[in-house]
A and B are shown apart, each in its own frame.
Chain A
Amino acid sequence: MSSPDRLAPPPPVYDRFTRSDRIQHLVMIASFLLLALTGLPQKFIYANNRYLDDLIDAMGGLEMVRVLHRWAATALMLVTVYHLLAVAHRVLVRRVSLSMLPRYQDVLDGLQAVRYNLGLAKERPRTDRYTWEEKVEYWSLVWGTVVMIATGFMLWNPVATARFMPGQWIPAAQVIHGGEALLAILAVLVWHFYSVHLRHFNRAMFTGLMTEEEMGHEHPLELERIKAGAAHPPQDPAALARRRKIFLPVSGVIALLLLAGIYWFVTFEQTAIATVPPPR
């Protein structure tokens, strides 16, 4: 690897996100947007806002908005299941480093960034493959999705929920569902839009690639490692094939179980959706 004739000039662009990552992101955008568009006007019906009412009507009326919200939620749950399996594949089969896990260094990086902005530090933190800001965003999304799916289940199936939980947990779930939604939307508008659109339009999530200059600014430690040839340690092809052989059937079964879980989730009870026909 280190012999002089193999030291070609570094490529001008670096792979950052696989096609699978990018497709997940697109599905996420679509479902998140639809969830927000169909959820927010429902949350604020009591505010008697003409534009939010217009938005509901533009999407086909309140009952249609509720159906759309559930379809978008189903899409979000499907992409969540896919993501879990994709991460499992990365960790268990390809054995890539767990670069998204939060570390103590991320706390230090965050503090240094704040201090730098205030003029109390000389340099910005030198960040690795995932910056502390990206980790805040990713883990917020994970937390938010868990909360929304759990409380969403309770609102979707209130009669079933009340069988094994106190009844008042359902209105509490409604409060949490709405509060977490507002938090998520505002966080995306502030944190996500600033860090990948406003500060510098980061196209990596759409093209999958990053230029050397961008890498130098945002992921200097990763760039160093790539240049040192240490980013992707070589793997034993036989071991890789063996792990894949185990992973495929096991993940297939787990995927089927999770899909069955989603089916169970969305069809669990009828009364809250269809209930009785309207009074004469």
Chain B
Amino acid sequence: MKHPPFAAPLLLVSALLLPGSAARAQECLDCHSQPGSSVSFKGGSSKDVTVDPKAWAESVHGSAGLSCTDCHAGHESYPHPEVKADSERDYTLNHYTTCEQCHDEQFKKQLDGVHMKVIASGNKKAAVCSDCHNPHVQKKITGEGGKLLPEGRLAVPRTCARCHAAIQAEYRQSVHGEALVDGNPDVPTCIDCHGVHNIPDPRTAEFRLQSPRICADCHTDRRKMAKYKLSTQVLRTYVADFHGSTVTLFQRRHPDQVTNKPVCYDCHGVHNIAGKNDPRKSLLVKANLLATCRKCHPDATENFPDSWLSHYIPTRDRAPAVYWARLAYQILIPSVVGGMVLFVASDFVRRQVDRRRRRLDHVEHV
């Protein structure tokens, strides 16, 4: 390990002058705020180990008075113990478990997340705690009741973009992403759909089958949708249709069933969801809708998209053929079957009466 020559005396002075854990952080910063300190790993790479004292002091951990050794256990004395990790990444993967000491709930959750599964399958690049929440600079992002603060919400896509940059670029152009930048508190960020810490793998059949519920969380919320004049019938009308009923049945009976029936995002897009007024993508534009149908029905022609009622409930004006057909059978079934029941009942009673009369006649004649 390389270190400045004045390290040892500085450490000694700090230890004598400053009390408590803040004191110990100051002790560490005496060296680690100086540029030029670095650590070498066994694999040959090295890392700069400078900590910005101002950023640390403003961070949630620094302002709470945590000491460096609360996380970096074993570094109380100098010289520090030998670094055994092969690389910076190995060091992170060996040490991120320290977060569990304080963040037990989040730590346990992330063990079930997709990132941990990817790491377990051998890809060390997947995120652990400190990749999203750099402990030396992480500011407080939650307010009362653990609710994300507005700054925290804005930061979410940026955080995910450290690895998922292309997806974030798509999201930024989407109706949700554009509004988020404007400070809209209603639109979803990454974690509203994907969850946080115990993020499920979005590539599975399970995720696909239950995804309509994610969208429905907001899109069936009357208060939220009223602001944007959006229909809250989207889930109901989807489930009532052939595609939606298939997906719904699989979801409740065989959650891992693979199906080619579309879910919300197959038609509306995943991260690049456009607003209804976007002329290039809005499914209210017939050409866009036809192109969408053709993804699965390549032979579809001009009339075909009308076979999907576009989440509308049929009325006299919209899809009148469906409206009148429904009304006709709502009248036809009870009147025909009701008439049959009445006749059958009258016939049954009359035959009982006849039989009884015949029996009485028989008795009288004996």
* Chain A interface (Cβ < 8 Å from any Cβ of B): 42, 45-46, 48, 53, 56-57, 61-62, 113-114, 116-119, 158-159, 162-163, 165-172, 174-176, 178-180, 182-183, 186-187, 190-191, 194-195, 198-199, 269, 271-272, 275-280
Q: Which residues of B contact A42 (CB under 8 A)?
A: 245
Query: Which residue of the partner chain A has the closest CB to B246?
Result: A62
Q: How far is the CA of A186 from the CA of B333 in the complex (A)?
A: 9
A–B Cβ pairs within 8 angstroms, 24 of them: A53-B249, A53-B253, A56-B253, A114-B346, A117-B347, A119-B350, A159-B297, A159-B304, A165-B303, A168-B307, A168-B322, A176-B325, A179-B328, A179-B329, A180-B329, A183-B332, A183-B336, A187-B340, A190-B341, A190-B344, A198-B348, A199-B348, A271-B296, A275-B296
Q: How far is the CA of A136 from the CA of B309 in the complex (A)?
A: 36
Query: Which residue of the partner chain B has the closest CB to A52?
Result: B249
Assess the A175–B336 pair: CB atoms within 8 A.
no
In the complex, the number of residue pairs spanning A and B with C-beta atoms less than 8 Å apart equals 143
Given contacts A53-B253, A171-B319, A278-B259, 19 further A-B contacts (CB under 8 A): A42-B245, A45-B249, A61-B254, A114-B343, A117-B347, A170-B307, A171-B308, A171-B309, A172-B319, A172-B325, A175-B326, A182-B329, A191-B340, A194-B344, A276-B260, A276-B295, A278-B258, A279-B208, A280-B203
Assess the A167–B299 pair: CB atoms within 8 A.
no
Assess the B332–A117 pair: CB atoms within 8 A.
no
- Kindly provide the distance from the CB of B138 to the nearest chain A CB, expressed in whole angstroms: 35
Q: How far is the CA of A166 from the CA of B336 in the complex (A)?
A: 29
Q: Which residues of B contact A46 (CB under 8 A)?
A: 239-240, 245, 248
Known: A170-B307, A172-B325. A118 touches B332 (CB 8 A): no
Cβ of B90 within 8 Å of any chain A Cβ, yes or no, is: no
Q: Which residues of B contact A187 (CB under 8 A)?
A: 336-337, 340
Q: How far is the CA of A271 from the CA of B294 in the complex (A)?
A: 10
Assess the A275–B297 pair: CB atoms within 8 A.
yes
Assess the B325–A167 pair: CB atoms within 8 A.
no
Question: For the complex, would chain B's binding face be called helix, strand, loop or mixed by DSSP majority?
Answer: helix
Assess the B260–A277 pair: CB atoms within 8 A.
yes
Q: How far is the CA of A171 from the CA of B241 in the complex (A)?
A: 9
Assess the A162–B304 pair: CB atoms within 8 A.
yes
Question: For the complex, would chain A's binding face be called helix, strand, loop or mixed by DSSP majority?
Answer: helix
Residue A118 contacts which of B305, B328, B336, B346 (CB distance < 8 angstroms)? B346
Q: Which residues of A contact B303 (CB under 8 A)?
A: 162-163, 165-167
* Chain B interface (Cβ < 8 Å from any Cβ of A): 203, 208, 239-242, 245-246, 248-250, 252-254, 258-260, 266, 295-301, 303-309, 314, 319-322, 324-326, 328-329, 332-333, 336-337, 340-341, 343-344, 346-351
Assess the B300–A162 pair: CB atoms within 8 A.
yes
Assess the B307–A183 pair: CB atoms within 8 A.
no
- Kindly provide the distance from the CB of A173 to the nearest chain B CB, expressed in whole angstroms: 8
Q: Which residues of A contact B329 (CB under 8 A)?
A: 175-176, 178-180, 182-183
- Kindly provide the distance from the CB of B236 to the nearest chain A CB, expressed in whole angstroms: 9
Q: Which residues of B contact A174 (CB under 8 A)?
A: 242
Known: A162-B301, A271-B299. A183 touches B309 (CB 8 A): no
Q: Which residues of B contact A190 (CB under 8 A)?
A: 337, 340-341, 344
Q: Which residues of A contact B350 (CB under 8 A)?
A: 116-117, 119
Assess the A168–B319 pair: CB atoms within 8 A.
yes
Known: A167-B304, A183-B329. A175 touches B349 (CB 8 A): no
Shortest 7 CB-CB distances between A and B: which pairs?
A: A167-B306, A179-B329, A170-B307, A117-B346, A172-B321, A162-B304, A278-B260
Known: A167-B303, A168-B309. A62 touches B250 (CB 8 A): yes
Q: How far is the CA of A57 from the CA of B326 in the complex (A)?
A: 29
- Kindly provide the distance from the CB of B321 to the nearest chain A CB, expressed in whole angstroms: 4
Assess the B299–A169 pair: CB atoms within 8 A.
no
Query: Which residue of the partner chain B has the closest CB to A42?
Result: B245
Query: Which residue of the partner chain B has the closest CB to A277?
Result: B260
Residue A158 contacts which of B304, B328, B341, B347 (CB distance < 8 angstroms)? B304
Assess the B249–A56 pair: CB atoms within 8 A.
yes
Q: Which residues of B contact A56 (CB under 8 A)?
A: 249, 253
Query: Which residue of the partner chain B has the closest CB to A274?
Result: B260
Q: Interface centre among B240, B254, B307, B351, by most A CB within 10 Å?
A: B307
Q: How far is the CA of A190 from the CA of B339 in the complex (A)?
A: 10
Q: Which residues of A contact B319 (CB under 8 A)?
A: 168, 171-172
Assess the B297–A271 pair: CB atoms within 8 A.
yes
- Kindly provide the distance from the CB of B74 to the nearest chain A CB, expressed in whole angstroms: 45
Q: How far is the CA of A162 from the CA of B302 in the complex (A)?
A: 8
Q: How far is the CA of A278 from the CA of B319 in the complex (A)?
A: 30
Q: Which residues of B contact A275 (CB under 8 A)?
A: 260, 296-297
- Kindly provide the distance from the CB of A75 to the nearest chain B CB, expressed in whole angstroms: 23
Assess the B305–A167 pair: CB atoms within 8 A.
yes
Assess the B266–A166 pair: CB atoms within 8 A.
no
Query: Which residue of the partner chain A has the closest CB to B326?
Result: A175
Q: Which residues of A contact B349 (CB under 8 A)?
A: 117
Q: How far is the CA of A275 from the CA of B242 in the complex (A)?
A: 14
